[in-house]
Amino acid sequence: MSASERPDASPWWASAVFYQVYPRSFADGNDDGIGDLIGVRAKLPYLKALGIDALWLSPFYVSPLADGGYDVADPCDVDPMFGTLADFDAMLADAHELGIRVTVDIVPNHFSDQHRWFQAALAATPGSPERARFIFRDGCGPNGDQPPNNWPSIFGGPAWHRVASTGPDDPGQWYLHIFAPEQPDLDWTNPEVPAEFERILRFWLDRGVDGFRIDVTHGIAKPEGLPDMDPALIEQLAKHEHGSLMTAGKDLRFDNDGVHEYHRMFRRVLDSYPGERMAVGEAWVPDHERLARYVRPDELNLTFNFELLEAKWDDVEFHEAITRSMAALADVGAPCTWVLANHDVDRVVSRYGGGALGLARARAAALVTLSLPGAVYVYNGDELGLSNVGLPDWALQDPTWERSEHKDRGRDGERVPLPWSGTARPYGFGSDPQATWLPQPEGWGLFTAEAEDADPTSTLWLYRRALAMRAATPALLGSSFEWLDAPEGALAYRRGDIAVVMNAGPVDVPLPAGEVLLSSGPLAAGWGTPAGAGVAGGGSSLPTDTVAWIRTA
Ligand code: GLC
Ligand code: CA
């Protein structure tokens, strides 16, 4: 739909459905067991049929893959494992041809330790301009052999790594890495750093990308003087669920006011290009009023509302997360950005209880996010209803596993290569079942895109129907929203003439009068036509763990 056809002439991204491709795991185009850009290009017709508006590609840049590509050694080139710049251009051209926008990841908090800048910094001496692009400090203690402060790495262990001495007066400095040691943090107060990122943004914008997802955008400004953290918070972080960077209290390393100046630079660059280029921020900021600052009119266009991702499958938690997210961003006039999963958190089916129960709830939750006002992100494989995979120790690759001394298994379970076809591994992800970069499970034959395409009650068809209906229903694309009264355990809201009812309680709840357009599972009165479409709502009721969209009179 063009801007003029959209209900309120808002930009495309304000109500877009984005699909996150984790390139290593999405589709393998050259049969080496690793996903790549040729694979993405080959699956564009699948994505078109799914009905998404835009892609977000996680990093495919030159990288030693110490953190799955979020350790970028050359942000302006494609890693040979993923293909070439020509493959990227061909994929982008085909996507645009199909009307699919393409956004890519920008990782501004750190580079890979293999980046030429960091290699030059290691070769240079303390106080040099090469070291000033990163956060090098002298250590504490008599020989400088204690880290400069008590910060822990998000992946476990200390956030400082000591480098070799460069001469008799240099005992060996330490550099900061909030994530893995292979991801040295950049110093954004050094003007060379924002200038380099402006160059990187322009490189991709010039190639034609429609926007960016900005990694850890709440972390790029460090607190003045790098003060110690509260030890109690450090203890709390050690127990933290992997992936989520949200803390209840204030983690002084994140959400410092300095970040906003850098966001204004990003926005200035985006707005200097035609065609509504955009940026979405990955900002784990629990305080809503502070999160709203990320999407002020001259800053990022969108910022993920992670509160819903963190909510349990529960009507009260959903109600609070939705209300608070909407209220916060309404003040700055920015749309919400709903997301239930990404490559950092357990898959929705697993978080909501696993198995048939988790799947029913994940399908239901998808009909919630897809009917809320704002933009929505879908993580690859969620449209197939995939669960996390329990992987053997030997297969684990996430740095979290080693750095947490084998306490946290990390994020590989949600990154297993997608099943496309057939009944046995590798399910059309290349042809060698031993070659996939993470082992696939038995039993995924029922969850392949091919099998689900043939089954009108599948999760794939639920997503296709929901996306098609959303695109064709102005009320769902606009901003009008109103809570409706709902029985205990349930949640109900109205978007124009569409009512949405979610039942997270233990008993069936009555549905409002009207036509059931879509339901996430069978209604008490049965499925009706495929996936519940066209069932008369009056008189029927909504079972536990089900969501329905109803056109009211
Ligand atoms: C973000 C990414 C995550 C990565 C981290 C460090 O949180 O989503 O995958 O490990 O940043 O770049
Ligand atoms: Ca490949």
Domain boundaries along the sequence of the chain: 3-110+191-464, 111-185, 479-551
CB 71 near ligand 1, within 6 Å? no
Ligand that lies nearest to the alpha carbon of residue 254, given by its number in the listed order = 1
Classify domain 111-185 by CATH architecture: Alpha-Beta Complex (3.90)
| pLDDT at residue 9 in the model | 75
Using the predicted structure, report yes or no on whether residue 535 has a pLDDT greater than 70.
Answer: no
How far does Cα 387 stand from its chain's mean position?
16
| pLDDT at residue 66 in the model | 97
Q: What's the gap in Å between 220 CA and the centre of ligand 1?
A: 13
74 catalytic per annotation: no
- Residue bearing the CA closest to ligand 1, atom 5: 70
Output the CATH code of domain 479-551. 2.60.40.1180
| Token representation of residue 362 | 């994940």
Best residue among 344, 400, 401 to mutate for probing ligand 1, ranked by most atoms within 8 Å of CB? 344
Structure confidence by residue, pLDDT tens digits, 439-453: 999 999 999 999 999
Using the predicted structure, report yes or no on whether residue 36 has a pLDDT greater than 80.
Answer: yes
Tell me how far CA of residue 439 lies from CA of 350, 359, 409, 444, in angstroms.
18, 22, 15, 12
Question: How many CB atoms within 10 Å of residue 130?
Answer: 17
Using the predicted structure, report yes or no on whether residue 145 has a pLDDT greater than 80.
Answer: yes
| pLDDT at residue 536 in the model | 47
CB 107 near ligand 1, within 6 Å? yes
Q: What's the gap in Å between 29 CA and the centre of ligand 2?
A: 5
- Asked: is 3-110+191-464 a CATH 3.30.1600.10 domain? The reply is no
Q: pLDDT-based confidence at 292, cuts 50/70/90?
A: very high
Q: What's the gap in Å between 35 CA and the centre of ligand 2?
A: 5
End-to-end CA distance of the chain: 26
**Atom from ligand 1 closest to the CA of residue 178:** 6
Using the predicted structure, report yes or no on whether residue 79 has a pLDDT greater than 50.
Answer: yes
Ligand that lies nearest to the alpha carbon of residue 24, given by its number in the listed order = 2
Contacts of 497 (CB under 8 A, 6+ apart): 475, 551, 552
CB 179 near ligand 1, within 6 Å? yes
| pLDDT at residue 338 in the model | 98
CA dist 130 and 190 (Å) reads 11
Q: pLDDT-based confidence at 539, cuts 50/70/90?
A: low
**Atom from ligand 1 closest to the CA of residue 342:** 8
CA dist 408 and 421 (Å) reads 32
Name the one residue in this structure whose structure tokens are 């007066």.
Answer: 169
Q: pLDDT-based confidence at 504, cuts 50/70/90?
A: very high
Structure confidence by residue, pLDDT tens digits, 460-486: 999 999 999 999 999 999 999 999 999
| Token representation of residue 318 | 């959903």
Structure confidence by residue, pLDDT tens digits, 315-356: 999 999 999 999 989 889 999 999 999 999 999 999 999 999
**Atom from ligand 1 closest to the CA of residue 243:** 7
Structure confidence by residue, pLDDT tens digits, 46-58: 999 999 999 999 9
SS3 311: coil
Q: pLDDT-based confidence at 8, cuts 50/70/90?
A: low
In which region does residue 503 sit, left (phi positive, over 0), alpha (psi from -120 to 50) or beta (all else)? beta
In which region does residue 539 sit, left (phi positive, over 0), alpha (psi from -120 to 50) or beta (all else)? left
* Residue pair 348/362 in contact by the 8 Å Cβ criterion: yes
* Rounded (5°) CA angle 290-295-300: 125
Structure confidence by residue, pLDDT tens digits, 204-249: 999 999 999 999 999 999 999 999 999 998 988 887 666 677 776 6
CB 70 near ligand 1, within 6 Å? yes
Query: Given 105, 187, 215, 412, which residue is catalytic?
Result: 215
**DSSP states of 53-118 as a string?**
SEEEEPP-EE---TTTT-S-SEEEEE-TTT--HHHHHHHHHHHHHTT-EEEEEE--SB--TTSHHH
CA dist 21 and 104 (Å) reads 10
Ligand that lies nearest to the alpha carbon of residue 345, given by its number in the listed order = 1
Using the predicted structure, report yes or no on whether residue 363 has a pLDDT greater than 80.
Answer: yes
CATH topology agreement for domains 111-185 and 479-551: no
CB 398 near ligand 1, within 6 Å? no
Work out whether the CA dihedral 536, 537, 538, 544 comes out positive or negative.
Answer: positive
CB 549 near ligand 1, within 6 Å? no
Best residue among 20, 106, 186, 216 to mutate for probing ligand 1, ranked by most atoms within 8 Å of CB? 216
206 catalytic per annotation: no
Helix (H) / strand (E) containing 549: strand 546-551
Q: What is the mean pLDDT of residues 262-286?
A: 97
How far does Cα 552 stand from its chain's mean position?
34
Average pLDDT, the chain: 94
CA dist 62 and 73 (Å) reads 5
Query: Given 79, 105, 187, 282, which residue is catalytic?
Result: 282
CB 67 near ligand 1, within 6 Å? yes
CB 344 near ligand 1, within 6 Å? yes
CA dist 447 and 429 (Å) reads 13
Using the predicted structure, report yes or no on whether residue 13 has a pLDDT greater than 90.
Answer: yes
